[in-house]
Amino acid sequence: MGILEHKGRARIFYKYLSQVYDRINPFIWNEAMRDEAIGWLELDGDEKILDVGCGTGFATEGLLAQVDTVYGLDQSAHQLEKAYAKFGRGGPVKFHRGDAERLPFRDDSFDVVWSSGSIEYWPNPVDALEEIRRITKPGGRVLIVGPDYPNNTLFQKMADAIMLFYDEAEADRMFREAGFTEFEHHIQQARPGSPRAITTVATIPE
Ligand SMILES: C[S@@+](CC[C@H](N)C(=O)[O-])C[C@H]1O[C@@H](n2cnc3c(N)ncnc32)[C@H](O)[C@@H]1O
């Protein structure tokens, strides 16, 4: 398990990274990738959406171009402070400070649950995916973006030491173990040579 697959360490990491997150993020996860992923959800504008690990609100902002209100949850007070500065506290984002593995919502609460760039910090990703499936309505969709596993052995060793990187076979295993049956993976990349994202879009059976 990587050093940052730990809730306390991830919180400390984001205490510092939150200061520069919005300037660094576009090198590996940019608007074109985010908007392409949002397009896979084929939103009609009426969906109730949760963004798990919303951070400073980069994906939340893209989702808000499609729907009037988005729920945002993150465990980092520092990341959330940056998001509050963008959207306000009583505005279009309903914020929750909490843990992806213990989501404070009832069963079948959301039409869509989105999470980009957060799964790699979750110590028990299958537990969190189960939680996400629990709170998504039948017929609803789940979209998870994580870091694709590098091909090069040296990069694999470095990646494994830091956080969760996973390939399609591992994504299949995690999603199946969490009870998902219908899903597909897409590989995304900001530019040739930059780290790839693996984006899984799942549908909850009716
Ligand atoms: C790379 S940022 C992604 C932010 C945003 N989703 C985006 O697309 O730019 C990862 C976020 O996941 C949050 N996070 C990490 N572990 C978490 C957990 N167990 N529960 C909730 N949020 C978590 C971090 O605090 C951080 O804000």
Which pLDDT score, from 0 to 100, does residue 105 have?
Answer: 98
Pocket test for ligand 1, best of 4, 11, 75 (most atoms within 8 A of CB): 75
pLDDT at position 115 is: 98
CA-closest residue to ligand 1 atom 16? 121
Tell me which amino acid residue 180 is.
F
- At 88, the pLDDT band (50, 70, 90 cuts) reads very high
Q: What's the whole-model pTM score? A: 0.97
Q: What mean pLDDT comes out for the span 55-74? A: 98
CB-CB contact of 33 with 197 (8 Å): yes
Each residue's pLDDT tens digit, 91-131: 999 999 999 999 999 999 999 999 999 999 999 999 999 99
> What separation in Å is there between the alpha carbon of 4 and the centre of ligand 1?
12
Residues whose beta carbon lies within 6 Å of some atom of ligand 1: 7, 10, 14, 25, 29, 53-55, 58-59, 74-76, 79, 99-101, 116-118, 121-122
CATH architecture of 7-203: 3-Layer(aba) Sandwich (3.40)
Per residue in 187-200, pLDDT (tens digit) is 999 999 999 999 99
Give me the sheet containing 110-116, strands edge to edge.
93-97, 70-74, 49-52, 110-116, 136-147, 196-203, 182-189
- What's the one-letter identity of residue 126? V
- Determine contact, residues 173/181, Cβ cutoff 8 Å: no
Residue 143 CA to ligand 1 center (angstroms) comes to: 14
CA angle 30, 41, 89 (to 5 degrees): 65
Residues linked to residue 198 through DSSP beta bridges, in sequence order: 146, 187
Cα–Cα distance, 91 to 45 (Å, whole number): 17
Alpha helices in the chain, H assignment, sequence order? 7-17, 21-24, 31-40, 58-64, 77-87, 125-135, 153-162, 168-177
Which of 1, 4, 29, 74 for mutating ligand 1's site (highest number of atoms within 8 Å of CB)?
74
* Domain-wise residue ranges, the chain: 7-203
Q: What pLDDT score does 33 carry?
A: 98
DSSP assigned state of 54: -
Average pLDDT in the chain: 97
Model confidence over 15-29: pLDDT tens digits? 999 999 899 888 899
